[in-house]
Amino acid sequence: MHRVLLICAVLCSAACPLAAVAQDLRVPASVTAGDDVTIPTTGSGKATFYLVGPGVSRKSEVSLGEEIRLQGQELWNAGDYLVLVCSDICNSGTFYVTAAKPASFAFLVHPSRVPVGQSDAVSGVAFPFDQFRNLVLTPVTVSFQLTAGNKPLFSKQVRTENGAAWFRTASGKSAGLLQVVASLDDLSAKRAVQQVASDPCNLRITGQRIPIGVLVQTEPVHDCAGNVVPDGTIVTFSATEANGKSTVDAPIKQGIARAQIEATGATVVSVASGVVMGNELRIGAKP
């Protein structure tokens, strides 16, 4: 508004040094973006008309006593607009252009990949825009729905505040594709989140002595919900014998991690992945 008043002062001082305020310019308080507008005037004779607003600056000659017509394409951008009519004096008015009804919306979801069973792990935000790409600030209701397979996991209707509606919720319990849909009237947008297994749970190992040491491997590794832990997850094997301790990091391949450890004496092998510990395995000394 300060910017509008400054523009008004500059234009009035340039066009009419004796500028004064009069009530002969009836300007609407607000206008919807893209709508045509008529501004009634009183008096007679010629005058200079100015329109200043976001992305528009116009000067033209008008006849007092007739309506001034503003075309919708001049009012595409939401924001404050200033109008001036100058003859012997300058009369001014301001109005605000509001966004039209939603015609599209931006929908962002985070993250693209998430472990299962995590609290507040999936979030999304929607921003409605009108056909002229103005952010719609008038509150509207956005529906959010999350499904995994054919199973609904989350559904909520949210009213926008300052042009945004958002949600946050837990991830599901099964690995796979999570579909996230936002809808507003007849508009909708879909995003996908890949749910992956969480940390390994209940690690179990088996092993045997071989001519060059000890061969150990895990049973198929799952998380606590029963999902197969993805290949590449690191499992650490630790072997302790009388003369020292050694460790081997092994990636899971096809659900199982394997390691070969050089050890000749009686050996205790343990396993861990992240903060999860597994069972201990005792293997006798090499004959």
pLDDT by residue, tens only, the chain of 287 residues = 444 444 444 444 444 433 333 336 788 988 999 999 999 988 888 999 999 999 999 999 999 989 999 999 999 999 999 999 998 888 899 999 999 999 999 999 999 999 999 999 999 999 999 999 999 999 999 999 999 988 999 999 999 999 999 999 999 999 999 999 999 999 999 999 999 999 898 899 999 999 888 999 999 999 988 999 989 999 999 999 988 899 999 999 999 999 999 888 899 999 999 889 999 999 888 77
Residues 206, 188 share a domain: no
Residues 53, 12 share a domain: yes
Q: Which residue, of 69, 98, 127, is where some domain finishes? A: 98
Q: Which domain holds residue 164?
A: 104-196
Nearest to 43 by CA among 86, 102, 94: 86
Residues 93, 22 share a domain: yes
Q: Which residue, of 71, 98, 125, is where some domain finishes? A: 98
Give the number of other Cβ atoms within 10 Å of residue 286's Cβ. 15
Residues 269, 216 share a domain: yes
What's the predicted TM-score (pTM) here? 0.75
Number of domains forming the structure of the chain: 3
